[in-house]
């Protein structure tokens, strides 16, 4: 995979796995990642699927309809890649937090749905439900922040609440923040996400 790694203040500290939206690259969320956790290591990853020339982490059949076979394949691939990157760059594999937007948030959610222990926690900006009709792993105590838009044309409030409910029923500690600017990440979302992540990281230290 094409990636960008920036070492934080400590190899044992948190690493933010940065997952861009459709059409993005491995550098798109670096500035956001540094704002969220100034001392963390940052690992930006580029999606390997192309849709009309735009990078994505997995295929979709149409707007809002995911190619489930490809989603599973790419989720497993990303899970294995994080293991390999931890060895290559020397970060703590057990202290990886995903930060994803839109398509990137969806594959981060898929990691939570399919691989227990893959992520220490996650910040999901405008995600959808990655899969339905499956049993989720035990997510007891896993902190998840969801930034959503009450008027998001791609992720309806109903879908957002469904995702939050699925995660909570599997034990995740979910915080849901509602903005009002459609499908984009707002400064208010970022401010609340910074406070949320800072609180969880401070608890660990």
Based on the residue annotation, tell me whether 10 is a catalytic residue of this protein.
no
pLDDT at residue 205 is higher than 60 = no
User: pLDDT for 79-137, tens place per residue?
Assistant: 999 999 999 999 999 999 999 999 999 999 999 999 999 999 999 999 999 999 999 99
pLDDT score at 11 = 84
Domains of the chain and any CATH numbers:
3-204 (3.40.50.1820)
Given a cut of 90, whether residue 65 has pLDDT beyond it is no
- Any residues with CB less than 8 A from the CB of 153 and at least 6 apart, and which? 182, 183
Residue 110 falls in the annotated catalytic set: no
> Per mean pLDDT, which range of 8-12, 31-35, 36-40, 175-179 is the poorest?
8-12
Does the pLDDT at position 144 exceed 60? yes
Respond yes or no: is residue 152 known to be catalytic.
yes
Q: Residue 204 above 80 pLDDT?
A: no
Contact 124, 147 (CB under 8 A): yes
Task: Please identify which of the residues 102, 110, 114, 126 carries the catalytic annotation.
Answer: 102
Mean pLDDT over all residues of the chain?
95
Among candidate residues 115, 183, 188, 200, the one labeled active-site is 183
pTM here is 0.96
Nearest to 95 by CA among 2, 8, 195, 27: 8
Q: Which of 20, 41, 110, 152 is catalytic?
A: 152
- Could you tell me which residues come within 8 angstroms of residue 172 by beta carbon, excluding any fewer than 6 positions away? 112, 139, 140, 141, 142, 143, 144
Q: Which residue has the higher pLDDT, 205 or 117?
A: 117
Main-chain phi, psi angles of 33, to 5 degrees: -60, -40
Q: What pLDDT, on a 0 to 100 scale, did the predictor assign at position 94?
A: 96
| Tokens describing residue 87 | 């060895």
Does position 203 have pLDDT exceeding 80, yes or no? no
């Amino acid at each position: 995979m094409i990636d960008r790694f920036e070492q934080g203040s400590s190899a044992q500290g948190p690493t933010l796995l940065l997952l861009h939206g459709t059409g993005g690259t491995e550098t798109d969320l670096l500035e956001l990642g540094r704002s969220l956790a100034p001392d963390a290591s940052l690992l930006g990853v580029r999606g390997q699927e192309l849709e009309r020339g735009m990078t994505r982490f997995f295929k979709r059949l149409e707007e809002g309809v995911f190619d489930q076979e490809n989603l599973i394949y790419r989720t497993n691939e990303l899970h294995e890649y994080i293991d390999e990157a931890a060895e290559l760059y020397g970060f703590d594999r057990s202290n990886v937090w995903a930060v994803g937007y839109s398509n990137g948030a969806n594959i981060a959610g898929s990691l939570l749905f399919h691989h227990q222990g893959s992520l220490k926690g996650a910040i999901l900006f405008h995600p959808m439900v990655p899969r339905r009709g499956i049993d989720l792993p035990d997510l007891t105590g896993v902190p998840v922040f969801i930034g959503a838009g009450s008027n998001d044309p791609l992720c309806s409030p109903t879908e957002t609440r469904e995702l939050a409910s699925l995660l909570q029923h599997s034990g995740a500690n979910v915080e849901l923040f509602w903005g009002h600017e459609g499908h984009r990440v707002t400064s208010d979302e970022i401010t609340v996400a910074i406070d949320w992540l800072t609180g969880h990281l401070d608890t660990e230290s």
